[in-house]
Amino acid sequence: MSDPINSHGLRDNFWERVKLKNLNQKEWEALCDGCGRCCLNKLEDPDTGEVALTRVACRLLDDKTCQCGQYEIRKQIVPVCIVLTTETIADHAYWLPKTCAYRLLWEGKPLYDWHPLISGDAQTVHDAGISVQGWTIPEFEVDEDDWEDYIIEEED
Ligand code: SF4
Ligand code: SF4
């Protein structure tokens, strides 16, 4: 087992019992499964509002760790990077990946078994093939007009 989850400050099964707006900061952050999918570039159909994820990733994404390579100063480099909070989730849930824990709970759905909070192991998000580990293309290598060639199917 790698990276055991530090449960200090987390209420038991908080993701099943506590409303998103009532989570403490530690619980809010623990909801993130570390998949990196929210750092994939998206295409939004202006007519239908449908959002498609692509394999083309933000220039700061490290797809070995699935983490932001410059998290502390990311807004200076990528000003459009959003900060997901209890106040902003309502505006952003629609474009978040379908497997994203914040979107799932916002939509009243349960977390998947591979979520580290349930498995107790941060590796399970990679083993389940949910994370972006090893399959993205940096945005500086693909012209924006060609992103549609890299659309991925999302699990429902
Ligand atoms: S998609 Fe959601 S769960 Fe995955 S890294 Fe982004 S915020 Fe975290
Ligand atoms: S700046 Fe960092 S956190 Fe924001 S989308 Fe890019 S890689 Fe993800």
Judge whether 155 lies within some domain: no
Check if the beta carbon of residue 146 is closer than 8 Å to that of residue 47.
Answer: no
Give the total residue count for the chain: 156
User: Which ligand does the CA of 68 lie closest to?
Assistant: 2
Q: What is the number of domains present in the chain?
A: 1
Domain that holds residue 117: 14-150
Q: 22 Cβ partners below 8 Å, 6+ apart?
A: none
- Protein residue closest via CA to atom 8 of ligand 2: 39
Judge whether 5 lies within some domain: no
Judge whether 25 lies within some domain: yes
Residue range 99-118: mean pLDDT, rounded: 98
Query: Residue for token digits 């972006």?
Result: 132
Mind listing the pLDDT tens digit for each residue in 16-26? 999 999 999 99
Mind listing the pLDDT tens digit for each residue in 1-47? 444 577 888 999 999 999 999 999 999 999 999 999 999 999 999 99
* HEC letters along the chain: CCCECCCCCCCCCHHHHCCHHHCCHHHHHHCCCCCCHHHEEEEECCCCCCEEEEEEECCCEECCCCEECCHHHHHHHCCCCCCCCCCCHHHHHHHCCCCCHHHHHHCCCCCCCCCHHHHCECCHHHHCCCCCCCCCEEHHHCCHHHHHHHECCCCC
Judge whether 84 lies within some domain: yes
Judge whether 74 lies within some domain: yes
The pLDDT score that the predictor gives to residue 1 is: 44
Mind listing the pLDDT tens digit for each residue in 47-96? 999 999 999 999 999 999 999 999 999 999 999 999 999 999 999 999 99
Query: Residue for token digits 């902003």?
Result: 88
Check if the beta carbon of residue 68 is closer than 8 Å to that of residue 62.
Answer: yes
Q: Which of the listed residues 68, 96, 155 should we mutate to test ligand 1's pocket, taking the one with most ligand atoms within 8 A of CB?
A: 96
Judge whether 50 lies within some domain: yes
The structure tokens listed for 4 are: 């055991």
Q: Is the CB of 103 under 6 A from ligand 1?
A: no
Judge whether 131 lies within some domain: yes
- 156: confidence class by pLDDT, cuts 50, 70, 90: low
Judge whether 4 lies within some domain: no
